[in-house]
Structure 1
Amino acid sequence: MREQWRKIRRASGYLLLGLPTAMLTTMVPLLLVAAALSTGLGGIGLVVFPRAVSGLRRWAEWHRRRAAALLDRQVSARDMTLGRGIRAQWRQVLDDPGTRRDVRWVFRHIVTGVPAGMAAMFCVGTVVFTVFATSLWWLFPSDTPLRLLGAFPVTGWGSALALGAVQVASFAVLTWWAVPRLAAFHASRCLAALEPSAEDLLTERVGELTESRAGVLDAHGAELRRIERDLHDGTQARLVAIAMRLGVARESLGDGTGDLSDLLREAHEGAEEAMTELREVIRTMYPPILADRGLSGAVAALAARSGVPVEIDLGELGRLPTAVETAAYFIVAESLTNVAKHSAATQARVRITRAGGSLLVEVTDDGIGGVDETGGTGVMGIRRRVAALDGELVVSSPPGGPTTLSVELPCES
């Protein structure tokens, strides 16, 4: 019982305060329109409008916290600070999905807040009025007596107490039943308008994951470059020095036989094999030519070494993330290897351009076509490399050719 009365008090206070705030909120659309139109008055609106939207955010956020407190929910605080610069502020308020939710809340608060607040005021006000009016029935003129339950006049203490008790009990029951439900309905509508929808949350989550993935790939690329430098400048240099010393030792001993000579020969050959394997590992981790000549120079080197004449068409690429640059290099390298081994082509063409936030790589040959991704042609490896960057691979290879491999790699978060 006590808990129910506490809910009624909270709900009544919520709705009775929500009534005047809903009435004040009816002015918000006019204020926003006036702030937007004031841009024509010497550009005043350029400064005023973002601040008006920020003020709306604070107004809506206050109601959001009230609604969450009534429903005993936890809500995270929203950012209410404006950036620096007029252009940044306009971009912030126009691109922020929360701005549209705030505007949506304005109309929902007006439509639900005014009727719910008036209903609560009628229920609670009638109970309070009846209590006071019943005790002061004798102050009413005899020709216009106090009337309770809508039509029954009060003529004495008996009728006053009887009719007053019935009216108080009726509206108390109505308040008991209706006010908490009206308050919960209004609060839930308020949160529904201001909280992001499931689709908005999914979009925000995808954006966060995309940004974090881009950061991880950049960090991974930087780490690969560091390891490549360490192996190239440290481990490989030491192997070269060891191989040279072993070679000098073999020269000093001559070409004689014996256990020591055999051990030196095996150690020398093993060191040279280790250097060869290490160079291959370094090349597959992060090709040094990318660091030296960039993607354009690296692709040109691949074309020069290809067993098929290759035409190169490179657009303005700008600065690319390390992971994207490396992936593009290996895609071209694997594609040209496939062309030389399997296509029987006489000409190939590599085209790399940048369109907005994507890097487009296209490799075409005039070979026999009919690429089978399951036949060990390396296309599956390319597809996995592209998928790791959330890219897209399209292979067009009808029998008889030509074969076109088109890749789109996102280069921005």
Structure 2
Amino acid sequence: MGRMSSPRPTRLQLFGWAVALIGMMVPLYVLVSFFLTSLGLILIWLGLPFTLAVLTLMRKFTNFHRGRAGWVLGTEVGRPYRARVPEHGLIKRVFAMLGDPATWRDFGWLFAQMVAGSALAITNVALLVGGIGHITLATWWWALPDDADVNLVGFLSVHSTESALYAGIPLGLVYIVVWYIASPTMMRAQARMTASLLAPTEAAQLANRVQELTVSRADTVDTQAAELRRIERDLHDGAQARLVALGMSLGMAEETVARDPAAARELLAEARAASSQALAELRDLVRGIHPPVLADRGLEGAIQALVLANPLQTDVDIDIPGRLSAPVESAAYFAVAETLTNVVKHASASKAWIRLNYEDGKLVMLVGDDGRGGANASDGTGLRGIERRLSAFDGTLVISSPLGGPTVVVMSVPCELVAGN
């Protein structure tokens, strides 16, 4: 759990949350009943979609309480679920969720909340409401029957407006003082119980991390394999074909130079053109693997050169106090380059902007445009490839692209500055 910058809730806010917890006791009991019923029905087909729906609802319910517990404690309570659940196959999805230890910790929390959590919330509400009720007892004593006789805390007898005034006010003040002192403690105790049961354990964090690294490694291997195929295809279809044509032209020129010098000169001119084209294609290929400007001028210079060659008006703001490692610079450069290419191809934008800064051990890259919006990593526009490239460095990609724009792509990569730069 990490610290949060939001202020701690006030006593009245905690009181409101206690009232809400009391109101949630009904859905809490319903959810427990549904979960137990779904387990009984799981042997028949009807039970599978019902179980999936109940598990999904239970996760949403507990995620909400994780957020509220973090709000009370001033910390962030993470989600402990396994990183990936199968997207297809009802049986696989159900048993993957049932096989997740976090599901059973959620279920255990439901019981703990039904008993201890609800008791703390009820006590919190009862102290304040009871205190106010005792203080105001004399004002509504007239509404009780004439022969009413009420015992307060078992030994204070109240049988008239005067006795309600003398006994109710002091006792009510005691209740309110106790509520004022104990209310934060009780609600933090409820929140700590929630956090202890619903926060990810070290084992869950390790398992999720292993799963993320496994997926990241597979994505990286696929990306590298695709990149090697692209290089092979570009060499075969481009520079290699040019060089073969160059060799043929030189061979024919060698055969015809004695009997037809003019034809030999034409062949040599074709060979010279083919060599120039092959050299240009090789340079483009090398630039696609690792731009020389990136090694010479660093990430800032490479981005500036990229923008100069871009047909779209692009504002650049870079604040990186040093050089990054070569792999990180390369990944960052191509991430920005591919994102900018997507803007040119798909966004119908008139302007773009690039912001790069380094803070708290993280390189943050922002690429935005004023285009039509609607960008999505699942649309095959290259954003998924960027996400996979960054995942090899534990990087993330977040897209904000409402219809009508603007589109903002925020990419971040944890990294360190290279010493001596």
Larger radius of gyration: 1
Q: Give the TM-score normalised by the residue count of structure 2.
A: 0.49
